[in-house]
Amino acid sequence: MIFLNILLLLVGFVLLIKGADFFVDGSSSIAKLIGIPGFVVGLTVVAMGTSAPEAAVSITAGIQKSNEIAISNVVGSNIFNLLVVAGVCAIIKPYSIEKIMLRRDFPVNIAISGVLLLLMFLGNALGLIDGIILLALFILYNVVVIVSAFKNRSTLEEDEGKKLSPLLSVLAIIGGLAAVIFGGNLVVNNATEIARVMGLSETFIGLTIIAIGTSLPELVTSVVAAKKGESGLALGNVIGSNIFNILLILGLSSSITTIAVDSSAIFNVIVMTVVTALIFIPCLIKKSMGRVVGIFSVLAYVGYTVYLLMNAKA
């Protein structure tokens, strides 16, 4: 029976990833057809599209009261993104970091991790008020980013990209969204069953298997960019995705249904916050991410996974 669960879990991951691709293509095409600048599409639609797998899983888990998966999926994805995705890209080719990212986006990532930790400490749960706070911060951050992008529009290249017909665009959005929702259900249901059968905690499954699976779009995109000599895109992709994961996904999830918080969840959010700060320090000093930091990051993730495995029993 567990083999069927594993198979359905893999099918769920495929639906999540391909569904997100179709959703991004359709949404980007619609935006371009009605004249929204390409860089704004990239900052909003594409960023949200790459976070669609995490959103589907966490929201579904929250509705089904699988609180451990709802939170650990976001936390695990963020840790994986920062240590493995950004780290592997730095190993492939070290990259410089944009000043705006060091001044604004990286500190924002650290700050909102602290805000999340504070909200968890205060209420032992993430409820409607917490969700509204996170969503308000999400809107504020995006307004700042988009206004800044428009101010610097002359320095940015417009990317026409691929345009679909209006009908195909709508079909891509509907089909992609359906695949993401159905895939999210498959992942949550079968991951929960695997955890139960193997005697593993939902937290471990969420922090590792589900987190890695839902982070595949970021990993593939960043590694391909690194191989093309555009490693600098990796950290931007990672930081943007991590901010969206915390503010949008946990904001939506906790607005829909109250998510209970335990000591394990708080500990892992602390790990996420500390990891983000530790990676930020050498990046700020050197204005780049080199191979040494990349190797350290990947090894740190291996060590973290080993620790989780040692404490994986439910």
pLDDT of residue 78: 92
Closest CA to 82 of 106, 59, 50: 106
What residues have CB less than 8 Å from 244, skipping those under 6 apart? 47, 48, 51, 138
Q: What would the pLDDT profile of 165-212 be if each residue is shown by its tens digit?
A: 888 888 988 888 788 778 878 887 888 788 778 888 878 888 888 888
Compute the mean pLDDT over every residue in the chain, rounded to the nearest whole number: 82
CATH classification (class only), 2-310: mainly alpha
| pTM confidence score | 0.80
Closest CA to 29 of 142, 167, 154: 167
Q: What would the pLDDT profile of 256-290 be if each residue is shown by its tens digit?
A: 888 888 888 899 999 999 999 999 999 899 888 88
pLDDT of 237 above 50: yes
